[in-house]
Amino acid sequence: MTSHDDHSESTLSPPALSPIEISMDSSEPLYRQLRRALEHQILSGVMNPDVALPSSRALSHELGLSRNTVNAAIQELVATGLIEARARSGHFINTNLLDNGSEKHHSARLSDGSIDWESKIRAIPDRNLPEITKTKNWQSYPYPFVAGQIDPDEFPRLAWARALRTAMDPKHLPFSVRDAIDEDDPLLTDLLCQRVLPSRGIHVSPENVLITAGSQQGLDLLAQLLVGPDTTVGVEDPGYVDAKHAFTRVGGQLIPLPVDSQGMIPPDDQLDIVYVTPSHHSPTNVTLDPSRRLQLLTRMRETNSLIIEDDYDSEFRYRGKPTPALKALPHSDHVIYLGSFSKFLAPGLRLGYIVAEPELIERMRTHRRYSIRHVPGHTQRAMALLIDSGQFHRTISRRRTQLRKKWETLTSALEEHLPWRVPFPAGGVSVWIQAPPELDCRELAEECLRRGVVIEPGDPFFLSPETNRNFFRLGFAVIDLDSITPGVRHLSEAIDSVLSQA
């Protein structure tokens, strides 16, 4: 009588097995060796539970074993409950057993030689800090008020493609393909010092510059070199979440510094380091008041402390004149400046820079060598060529014009449809909104999704998120201009719905 699994038909192709080794010289019976190999593949998750296992005939042919040997192995797996027979369909993985997470299942994994990774991986100090999570598939929603993204259509793809091609020309090729652990691309650092940093009031030489894989890598380098156990780090509260993680991961003690309409309130106590986003505070976008800038610089210089200045979205100001960077002010040797090409051009490029004293730059360069060695030379040379062609500054100007229109449309829509007043800072690529205390913005975000609107709850930006659930952020860089006003109307309806249930 033919086994029913030989007649099984599935709409899905049989799963591809990893190689199975059967030793004819082993004292262990062949069917036991096969059962153990199949059990390992099932428990390790390489087999699709929605697809029937290969038939005994297919396994027999593939492995060169008798049908009786294969059937004996399959029947043992059925007896353990790891697989189950389905009439006229074949044998399938028993997902109920796998999902139970039973001690028996866990022991089976370990006895099979699998590694219990939870016991191997070192616990990280920042595991209890909140994290920013992006809505999956936010691109599929009609009203994506997401931050940290750009409209791909606004990326200068032709100019960037041209720069990448030119970087492969014989003149530039050595700088694109070399292993340069001792210096960054000299054309890029020269142009950065000559044409980019002066607009922020910063005048330095290339020895003051390190190119990084985005400002996030710059933060990580600084944290590893400057922060350790018992190092006190003042952070804005609310403030940039990833910076808090970077400092906490190396043992830093975070000291919250409140933020109001004039930016961060400088600390009275002595701190080792203060991290600040003075141009456009993350996430509120307020600009640090000039008097507070001087107060912070003076205080930190008097205590021989350091300032890490993250020049967050400084390019995008829509009214008034931009303020100079802290690093541009007199007596700012103790200020370490973080900048980025990728935040406004395209976050996927991962290209930024640090401006600091040469001694620190060289130490960071050495430290970087043992992680990524250096930022890809091709990307560095292409960025240099983009700046040299003038396309870099034309892109900033065009993007600023586009974002100004979106900013004006969003602020007007919020003034019309939001049931409370919102202060609007002069720049940035998002709007920070404080709602009434009774509005839980976690619930609001869920209600908004049901209406096709993506917003960002604001509580993760605080060191005490549970007591700050009445904040949210609206990014406007990626949403279509024509979608902003209807999106705000749907947001207003969602607010009314959540408040009516509070």
pLDDT, position 3: 45
> What 8-state DSSP symbol labels residue 317?
B
Q: What is the spatial distance between Cα 474 and Cα 425, in angstroms, rounded to a whole number? A: 13
Same domain as 292, residue 237: yes
Would 349 be classed as within a structural domain? yes
Q: Two tokens at 248?
A: 């906490």
Same domain as 424, residue 371: no
pLDDT, position 124: 82
- Candidates 445, 423, 450, 448; CA nearest to 434 is 423
Would 18 be classed as within a structural domain? no
Would 313 be classed as within a structural domain? yes
Same domain as 410, residue 344: no
Phi, psi of 113 (to 5 degrees): 95, 0
Phi, psi of 346 (to 5 degrees): -175, 120
Q: What average pLDDT score do residues 408-419 get?
A: 95
Would 233 be classed as within a structural domain? yes
Would 1 be classed as within a structural domain? no
Same domain as 348, residue 436: no
Task: Tell me the CATH number at 76.
Answer: 1.10.10.10
Q: What is the spatial distance between Cα 324 and Cα 85, in angstroms, rounded to a whole number? A: 72
Q: What average pLDDT score do residues 367-394 get?
A: 93
CA 11 to the chain's CA centroid: 38
For the chain, the domain total comes to: 3
Average the pLDDT over each of 9-23, 33-47, 55-69 and give the range with the smallest value. Answer: 9-23
Q: What average pLDDT score do residues 198-213 get?
A: 95
296 pLDDT more than 50: yes
Average the pLDDT over each of 21-35, 247-261, 307-321 and give the range with the smallest value. Answer: 307-321
Query: What proportions of the chain, in percent to the nearest 5, are helix, strand and coil?
Result: 45, 15, 40
Same domain as 443, residue 369: no
pLDDT, position 43: 82
- Please provide the average confidence, as pLDDT, over all residues in the chain: 88
Q: Two tokens at 449?
A: 């999704």
Same domain as 444, residue 404: yes
Would 131 be classed as within a structural domain? no
Q: Two tokens at 301?
A: 């210089």
Strands 430-434, 352-355: pairing is unpaired
CB contact at 8 A, 365 and 371: no
Measured at the CA of 122, the angle between CA 352 and CA 131, to 5 degrees, comes to: 50
Same domain as 338, residue 432: no
Average the pLDDT over each of 40-49, 151-160, 406-415 and give the range with the smallest value. Answer: 40-49
Model confidence at 155, pLDDT cuts 50, 70, 90, reads: confident
Identify the domain containing residue 459 by its residue range.
138-148+394-500
pLDDT, position 13: 52
**pLDDT tens-digit series, residues 81-101:** 888 888 888 888 888 776 654
Among 391, 426, 447, residue at a domain's last position: 391
Would 117 be classed as within a structural domain? no
Task: Tell me the CATH number at 286.
Answer: 3.40.640.10
Same domain as 385, residue 406: no
Model confidence at 348, pLDDT cuts 50, 70, 90, reads: confident
Same domain as 411, residue 368: no
pLDDT, position 64: 87
Same domain as 357, residue 417: no
322 pLDDT more than 50: yes
Average the pLDDT over each of 126-135, 188-197, 265-274, 465-474 and give the range with the smallest value. Answer: 126-135
Would 95 be classed as within a structural domain? yes
Same domain as 376, residue 336: yes
- The pTM of the full predicted model, rounded to 2 decimals, is 0.77
- Candidates 202, 161, 169, 214; CA nearest to 187 is 169
Model confidence at 42, pLDDT cuts 50, 70, 90, reads: confident
CB contact at 8 A, 355 and 325: no
Same domain as 311, residue 169: yes
Q: What are the C-alpha distances in Å from 436 to residues 219, 312, 498?
A: 34, 27, 12
Among 372, 391, 410, residue at a domain's last position: 391
Task: Tell me the CATH number at 487.
Answer: 3.90.1150.10
